[in-house]
């Protein structure tokens, strides 16, 4: 894709977000602050009135937290870190192990889905950077989805590809997550993420029959 075409797509996203804000909508963005999150975060930084939510599970790599802080300052973002209402002491399975080891689906629910659901219920527009080329589940999503609670999910990057993300990243000299150089392609919580070069999301929930945290699966047609 040529630079003008890519920038035209980017401008369209900013214009759409600006319309939401101008219409008085409560607009939020959820972001994992990975390298591939940067193009959307950069676009959102051009539109005032959007709060960015980072789901702080308590299990993130220290590098991810440092990267979040770096990007927040560099782009001038309004970032709020969300935490689970359930303490880690209460997140223990029947065999006495933390839930990420015994029940990763419930662990994701308590630390990611439940906190974000509270925010979504109080918002009009929930922006997410999911892309169709990331997984079979995401391939089935639509650009706009109205949830059962009335909140509209907006997926502006849905048809962007890996090369487009990389191209935008380079053109705007955006920073990269420090774990990229150590072979991590998709970075989640430290206990469940492995550095599997070239596998895209294959390093997430490594060794488990799990590909999604639960934030997006209810939107599949």
Q: Please indicate whether residue 213 is annotated as part of the active site.
A: yes
Q: Which of 107, 108, 192, 213 is catalytic?
A: 213
**Nearest CA to 119 among 188, 213, 33, 215?**
215
Q: What is the dihedral of CA 59, 72, 79, 98, to 10 degrees?
A: 0
Neighbours of 182 (CB within 10 A): 11
- In terms of Cβ atoms closer than 10 Å to its own Cβ (0-12, 13-18, 19+), residue 5 is exposed
**Nearest CA to 107 among 128, 119, 120, 93?**
93
| Helices within 45-82 (DSSP H only) | 62-75
CA distances from 113 to 9, 52, 66, 110, 120 (A): 29, 15, 23, 6, 10
- In terms of Cβ atoms closer than 10 Å to its own Cβ (0-12, 13-18, 19+), residue 39 is buried
Coil, helix or strand at residue 181? helix
CA atoms of 195 and 203, how far apart (whole Å): 6
Q: What is the dihedral of CA 77, 60, 113, 70, to 10 degrees?
A: 0
Q: Active-site residue numbers? A: 213
């Amino acid at each position: 894709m040529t630079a003008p075409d890519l920038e035209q797509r980017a401008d369209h996203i900013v214009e759409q977000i600006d319309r939401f804000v101008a219409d008085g909508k409560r607009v939020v963005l959820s972001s994992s602050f990975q390298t591939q999150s940067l193009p959307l975060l950069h676009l959102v930084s051009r539109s005032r009135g959007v709060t960015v939510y980072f789901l702080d599970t308590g299990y993130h790599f220290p590098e991810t937290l440092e990267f979040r802080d770096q990007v927040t300052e560099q782009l001038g973002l309004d970032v709020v870190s969300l935490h689970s209402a359930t303490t880690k002491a209460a997140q223990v399975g029947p065999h006495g192990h933390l839930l990420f080891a015994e029940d990763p689906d419930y662990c994701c629910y308590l630390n990611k889905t439940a906190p974000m659901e509270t925010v979504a219920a109080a918002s009009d527009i929930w922006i997410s950077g999911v892309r169709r080329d990331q997984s079979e589940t995401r391939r089935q999503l639509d650009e706009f989805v109205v949830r059962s609670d009335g909140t509209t999910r907006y997926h502006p990057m849905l048809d962007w590809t890996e090369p487009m993300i990389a191209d935008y990243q380079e053109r705007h000299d955006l920073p990269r997550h420090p774990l990229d150089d150590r072979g991590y392609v998709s970075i989640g919580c430290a206990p469940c993420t492995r550095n599997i070069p070239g596998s895209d999301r294959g390093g997430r929930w490594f060794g488990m029959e799990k590909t999604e945290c639960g934030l997006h699966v209810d939107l599949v047609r």
